[in-house]
Structure 1
């Protein structure tokens, strides 16, 4: 299989237009079309459909796109590893990070420690993927992923590294929620409008399940996927949200929001390090995983020391 053709195919799917993809690749449109036709002949199936606006990927094309990302990543990792002549750990290590979690907050510390200890390891940190993170690990698109634990998924292993309770997060500019100390009830929270991710996200599913079990309605003002958009919307008082406290500490400055525990709901989640069950980690990836475990242990210790959540996120 010609990996160059796979790279061309991935670029066309990403851009959605053969002409613009050819320009970005610095080849002619006819040459790029021939490469795509060659792939379709090799796999004996149509991968792209031409439309008035460009191209649309077919079902088989989407499958090839996912596998191609993993293949191209492994090829890049091999080139980096083989070019290294220092004898120190080297290679490309890709880490997936769950949105609306403390995983984003671990990114900079992880990058800093890896750069200090293992300068020949190249990190690739990814948050938004076209498939769920566990499937990305399964397909070889990422080496590991720090995600909300979804339960059993065939082919991958989940190592629980952190457990937290969800908190109600409101803007410091908004009126205080009537509360007993740092605790609120679901009924009190149900009077608010919420900004949450879509129904497929773990944060949303846990929230919806808790309100439903209490016979209450969770009023959704807006579904927001980009986490920084949600951050700005909450800070500006456009709605409340629900997050683990460590995630709130990641997204918000201490004086921007207030955090409240739920006194009558068990809204708890676990973060897990997801790796392949069949493909062992490379030396470089294993070292990165060890660093990540150490950073998460510090986060867990910090959470265990307590806080005064109803004042601000601190």
Structure 2
């Protein structure tokens, strides 16, 4: 299978339009169409369907798209590794970071230390993917991922690195949502409007489960996936949210929000480093994984679960 054609196919799916994809690839539309047709001939199935606005991937196309991302990443990693030679650690290392967690807050520190210690390692940090992070590790799209532990997933290993406590987060521009100081009950919280990620996200599932167990309803006024959009919406006072304490520190300034621990329920989950079960990490990826573990251990506060009162008070204006 021609990897160049795979790259063209991925670009077409990303752009959703053959003409615009051809422009970005600096080839003619007819040439790009021929490459896609040849690829469809190779795999003996239709990969794209035309719509009024462009093209979309078929079911087979979506499957190939996921595998193609892993294949292209491995090809790029091999080229970087071979170009650097064998004297120093080198290669492409891709790290997935769970959204709405402390993981994105480690991105810049990880990039800084990798650049200082291993300048020939090219770091690629990814937060949003078309598949869940554990599947991305399994498919070879990323080397490792720092994510909420979803439980057993065949083909990958989860190394427990941290337990995250969740808090209710509200804008400091509005009056306090409770008179209980830095704590709130689920019943009090059920009267508020929540801004949360979609139902497939771990933060949402844990939040919904806690309210359901208490016989209460969590009123979701908006579902937002991009972290910065959620941040701006909460700071603006458009709703409250639920986030881990470490993520609150990473996403908000101390004077922007109030953080409340849940007085009558424990909302928490484990953060884990997800790696392939069978395929060993490359030398470069193993070094990055060790740096990531060190950065997690060096996070403010005691190792393991963070105490809600500490972070809540720190986030309190």
What TM bracket, shorter-length normalisation?
A: over 0.9
In 1, Cα distance between equivalents of 2:127 and 2:294: 21
Counterpart of 2:112?
112
Tell me the secondary structure at the aligned position of residue 115 of structure 2.
Answer: helix
Are 1:249 and 1:313, in contact at CA under 8 Å, matched by a contact in 2?
Answer: no
Deviations 1:104-141 (A, max 9, x none): 10101100111111111000000010000000000000
Shift of the alpha carbon at 1:177?
A: 2.4
Q: TM-score if structure 1 supplies the norm length?
A: 0.96
| Alpha-carbon distance, 1:20 to partner | 1.2
The one-character-per-residue Cα deviations of 1:27-67 (angstroms, maximum 9, x if unpaired) are 11111111111111111111111222211211111000000
CA distance in 2 between partners of 1:51 and 1:259 (Å):
46
CA contact (8 A) 1:183 1:263 kept: yes
* In 2: Cα distance, 1:200 partner to 1:301 partner: 30
Q: Which residue number in structure 2 is paired with residue 309 of structure 1? A: 312
* Conservation of the 8 A alpha-carbon contact between 1:110 and 1:292: yes
Residues 160-199 of structure 1 correspond to what in structure 2 (within 5 A)? 160-199=160-199
CA distance in 1, matches of 2:12, 2:164: 41
CA RMSD between the two structures: 1.5
2:90 and 2:42 map into 1 onto residues whose CA distance is 34
CA distance in 2, matches of 1:180, 1:202: 27
Map of 2:59 onto structure 1: 59
Give the deviation of 1:313 after TM superposition.
4.9
Offset at residue 17 of structure 1 (A): 1.0
Where do 5+ consecutive residues of structure 1 fail to align?
Answer: none
Query: Do structure 1's residue 69 and structure 2's residue 69 form an aligned pair?
Result: yes
**Separation in 2, partners of 1:164, 1:146:** 13
Distance 1:130 1:161 in 2: 25
Is the contact made by 1:181 and 1:310 (CA closer than 8 Å) also made in structure 2? no
Residue 28 of structure 1: aligned partner = 28
Q: Secondary structure at the match of 1:309?
A: helix
Return structure 1 stretches of 4+ with deviation > 3 angstroms. Answer: 300-306
Where does residue 254 of structure 2 map in the other structure? Answer: 254
Distance 1:311 1:69, change over 3 A: closer
Q: How far apart, CA to CA, are the structure 2 residues paired with 1:6 and 1:300?
A: 44
Rounded Cα–Cα distance in structure 2 between residues aligned with 1:167 and 1:178: 14
Given that 1:183 and 1:262 are in contact with CA atoms closer than 8 Å, whether structure 2 keeps it comes out as yes
- Structure-2 change in CA distance of 1:170 and 1:102 (3 Å): same
Over residues 229-272 of structure 1, what are the superposed CA-to-partner deviations in whole Å (9 max), with x where a residue is unaligned? 11011111111110110000010001111111111112111111
Alignment of 1:113-152 (within 5 A): 113-152=113-152
Rounded to whole Å, the distance in 2 between the matches of 1:260 and 1:197 is: 19
Q: Distance in 2 between matches of 1:313 and 1:141?
A: 39
Per the alignment, in what secondary structure is the counterpart of residue 122 of structure 1? Answer: strand
The residue that corresponds to 1:263 in the other structure is 263
Name the CA shift for 1:312/1:304 in 2 (closer, same or farther; >3 Å).
closer
1:100 lines up with 2:103 in the alignment: no
Determine the C-alpha separation between the residues in 1 that align with 2:311 and 2:163: 19
Q: How many corresponding residue pairs?
A: 314
Corresponding position of 1:2: 2
**Which blocks of at least 5 consecutive residues in structure 2 are unaligned?**
none
Give me the whole-angstrom Cα distance separating, in 2, the residues matched to 1:301 and 1:287.
25
Query: Partners in 1 of 2:239 and 2:135 — Cα distance?
Result: 32
Task: Indicate if the aligned counterparts of 1:248 and 1:313 stay in contact, CA closer than 8 A.
Answer: no
Matched-pair contact (CA < 8 Å) for 1:148–1:270: yes
